[in-house]
Chain A
């Protein structure tokens, strides 16, 4: 069972301290554990750091890696920038959409998987590439990408 957001934030405060400058670290910690940023986490961070809920929300909405909607426990980020686009990223995305039945930025009904497209992830020398839960996978083909995603827990 995932921990509740307040507990994660309290843990983060103990780890990083409670200054205003800790907001991004706290959000990253919540994001890492839950895959998304629930309202309860935003409220807890606002309270702990002494800034408004609106301000924490604005930070959440600024960064691509945060989401205020629940996401899957596995997040696939397929690079969509040019070196990957030129080496078949589109075909890979279509194969993933076909097999798992979701569009980019959607989550499977069982909560297992979210697929996202993302700007350059710095793996252009081994394009096309994707990050799966932060781990790099390179020189992909549609088959290889589907196989990797199939194998996720």
Chain B
């Protein structure tokens, strides 16, 4: 079942949550966010309240509130919808974040593929300024806050928060070593919170309705609702809002998925599961709820899907660390060998699975650590080796074993 908060027909007035936040102490705002249990909506799932608490406690005259609008995970387009229709809510959430941690400077890092959203964001900013929610001495509280837009230049890795910060600093988007964490040393080495578009959009609702209300929206241990972008072989692709923790099958029903061979949850870096597992829940403890869901029907050759994803990772690996740079290439070559029949039994892939494990453990950032998921899942669940072995080029018959 859908449960709409961010996409609800009847929305609280823009700015109402911010006005309420301004009547509280910054620390109380942080506690409300913490108590709501909201975790980062970009997919990593770090508790937002803890992030804000750390940044709030960091001592510095200058701090930054950064919105990660570098939505690049294949199959994800939920933030595009939020930026198109709810930019004012986003700016409101960022302003609350600024008040909570003591920052007067917000930056939206928008992916280069979304330049057509800039007018909507600029319009929202103008409206917020006109109504006194952005600018100097907001609400007579001596609090200043404004937001600037920065555009990326086409790099998936810049969705990783330290890469994003490097990019904001005008550099190549190589991930940084952690620690120090951005909450202590982020943009220009100042304390910085980086949150996803959807996370910021939730904040005004949390402030207005209280942390218990938000926690109760989710199912089980999960707090709040979540936006999911669904595409592939479904009747009604689009963005749907469900309670976090809802079973995947609810989303599939809403989008009109019929014939299901496989569902990829969480994008190319997420998990690929067979139809028999669609009862599982979309939550940080189970199927990754980053936002992307792609459905593949029984006509789809999953090896070709895997090839497409491995090409993606080879292209998008930033090249900084060896396991990811070389590993993605080796796995892509293995997929090509599978497709042309040079590899046709599981045993031949043992080295690849070992490599995948090494990449998962030793890659510097999430890209290399999760790039192996689609390889492992698709090979394990969707490749029928007995059929392949019938080919004349089979390695078993060549005596390669």
Contact flag A59-B172 (CB < 8 Å), given A64-B153, A83-B75, A119-B316: yes
Quick one: which of A33-68 are within 8 Å of B by CB? 49, 58-59, 62-66
B23 CB-CB contact with A under 8 Å: no
| Chain A hits for B156, CB < 8 A | 119
A102 CB-CB contact with B under 8 Å: no
Quick one: which of B301-333 are within 8 Å of A by CB? 305, 308-309, 312, 315-316, 318
B196 CB-CB contact with A under 8 Å: no
Find the A residue at minimum CB distance from B306: A82
Among candidates B73, B77, B151, B171, residue contacting A123 with C-beta atoms closer than 8 Å: B77
Contact A119 B77 (CB under 8 A): no
CB distance from B71 to the nearest CB of A (A): 6
Among candidates B112, B152, B154, B231, residue contacting A125 with C-beta atoms closer than 8 Å: B231
Contact flag A62-B172 (CB < 8 Å), given A28-B153, A82-B232, A127-B231: yes
Among candidates B75, B151, B300, residue contacting A120 with C-beta atoms closer than 8 Å: B75
Contact A85 B308 (CB under 8 A): yes
CB distance from A118 to the nearest CB of B (A): 7
Binary flags per residue of B158-172, CB closer than 8 Å to A gives 1, else 0: 000000000111111
Contact A65 B154 (CB under 8 A): yes
| Chain B hits for A144, CB < 8 A | none
Contact A82 B167 (CB under 8 A): no
Contact B154 A124 (CB under 8 A): no
Count residues on chain A whose CB falls below 8 Å from chain B CBs.
39
A141 CB-CB contact with B under 8 Å: no
Stretch at the interface among A15-23, A93-101, A104-112: A15-23
Contact flag A82-B153 (CB < 8 Å), given A23-B171, A122-B114, A136-B116: no
Contact B77 A63 (CB under 8 A): no
A143–B189 alpha-carbon span in the complex (Å):
51
User: A120-B72, A124-B76, A125-B231 are known contacts; what are 6 more A-B pairs with Cβ within 8 Å?
Assistant: A31-B153, A63-B152, A63-B173, A64-B315, A119-B315, A126-B237
- Selected A-B contacts with CB under 8 Å, 25 pairs: A19-B170, A21-B168, A24-B152, A24-B167, A28-B151, A63-B172, A65-B154, A80-B308, A81-B74, A82-B305, A119-B156, A119-B316, A120-B73, A120-B75, A122-B71, A122-B77, A122-B111, A123-B77, A124-B76, A124-B77, A124-B229, A125-B231, A126-B237, A127-B237, A135-B116
